Structure 1
Amino acid sequence: MTSTSKAKQTWLQRIVAWVRQLLVFLFLALIITTTVDWWRAKDIARTNLPPITATSIQGQHIDVNALSFQQPVLVYFWGTWCPVCSFVSPAVNVMADNYAVVSVAMASGEDAKLNAYLQHHGYEFATINDSQNQIARQWSVQLTPTVMVIKEGEIKHFTSGFTSLPGMWWRMLVSS
């Protein structure tokens, strides 16, 4: 075996070892995040959900339950004050281009302030201002961001904390 072929074999072995480590890491991350989501969602009812019927700050009448019987709905609980939400909100905005998205802004101030925030960031998703956290309390949401997929009046998927765009796409596709 020549030194060039040994170098190629060593390089290939390193790549294979790195890919194995990455796959093990991704598998462990999936298990951990699934377990954490399960634990956080243990107090949230999956059926007989409280209604989210309101007028968004954009002037749209929203009835999440009725909409969920037409198509899956991504419900996004967030706040303008939430640092993690600043990473998740752009992905939610992308999702709103293709799916039904309803956001509930928790304790984020008056409508004018919230609307200015949305415009400044270019967010176009429907937003209900939950300035007193009444909707969040009814839904037992205590952590932001929280993302739920609701279909036919039931929560099909739930996660809180950072969520990626591929994670949201997957949850919506599986629910369709």
Structure 2
Amino acid sequence: MTKPNASKSLLSKVLYGAKQIAIMLVVFTLFSAALDLWRSKDIPTDNLPDLKAMTLNGEPVDILAMSYQEPVLLYFWGTWCPVCSFVSPSVDIMASQYSVVTVAMNSGSDEKLSQYLKHKQYDFPVVNDKKGLLSRDFSVNVTPTLMVIKDGELQFYTSGFTSLPGMWWRMLLA
């Protein structure tokens, strides 16, 4: 039989642990938001660069035109980026439900990039930014970087690890 004091002690420990986790999540969220604001200070929210390009599959993309139909998730990444290997599967899931365009930064030739995508089984549309010119136009210095563009304006910007719920949340709010 459990003593009443023992169950109160366990309950108070669980509540204390839950409180600490909640505090850490709030601090992490605030820190992450502040970091995103600081990193995005040089990125204009309107008058965005005109990204018209061809995907590896030969399909033309026009980010600004697409953004007037629905929000577009624009994902800057690289095959060489370790964090991108955790974010890209979520972007692939998002691409099955939303307009997504990805820009592979400095990731080699079209053939090499196509082999990488096939190996990873990614189906998202990819623009190969072999020399990093597109990423420079968007002032992207960190990978991965995700932007949500709606009606020709930058609605959300984040860099580093982003979860699938975080991507969904940003797309729904755009």
Q: Could you state the TM-score of these two structures normalised by the residue count of structure 2?
A: 0.98
* Secondary structure of residue in 2 paired with 1:103: strand
1:160 aligns with: 159
Match of 1:138 in 2: 137
Q: Deviations over 1:56-87 (max 9, x none)?
A: 00111100100000000000000001111001
Distance 1:10 1:169 in 2: 39
Equivalent residue runs for 1:52-67 within 5 Å: 52-67=51-66
Task: Please give the secondary structure, in 2, of the residue aligned with 1:128.
Answer: strand
Q: Which residue of 2 aligns with 1:82?
A: 81
Deviation at 1:129, TM superposition (A): 0.3
1:105 matched to 2:104: yes
Deviations 1:155-175 (A, max 9, x none): 100001111111111111111
**1:50 is aligned with what amino acid?**
P
Distance in 2 between residues matched to 1:143 and 1:25, nearest whole Å: 25
Aligned-partner Cα distance in 2 for 1:123–1:60: 16
SS at 2:127 equivalent: strand
Match of 1:33 in 2: 32
Distance of 1:62 and 1:132 partners within structure 2: 19
SS in 1 for 2:34: helix
CA distance in 2, matches of 1:129, 1:56: 7
1:117 alignment partner AA: Y
Give the equivalent residue in structure 2 for 1:16: 15
For structure 1, the residue ranges without an aligned partner over 5 or more in a row are none
Tell me which amino acid in the other structure corresponds to 1:93.
Answer: D
Q: State the 4+ residue runs in structure 1 displaced beyond 4 angstroms.
A: none
Shift of 1:3: 5.5
1:147 — aligned with what? 146
Gaps of 5+ in 2: none
TM-score by length of 1: 0.97
SS in structure 2 of the partner of residue 90 of structure 1: helix
Give aligned pairs, total: 174
SS in 2 for 1:42: helix
Q: Give 1:128's aligned residue.
A: 127
What's the offset of the Cα at 1:34? 0.4
Taking the aligned partners of 1:148 and 1:93, their CA distance within structure 2 comes to: 15
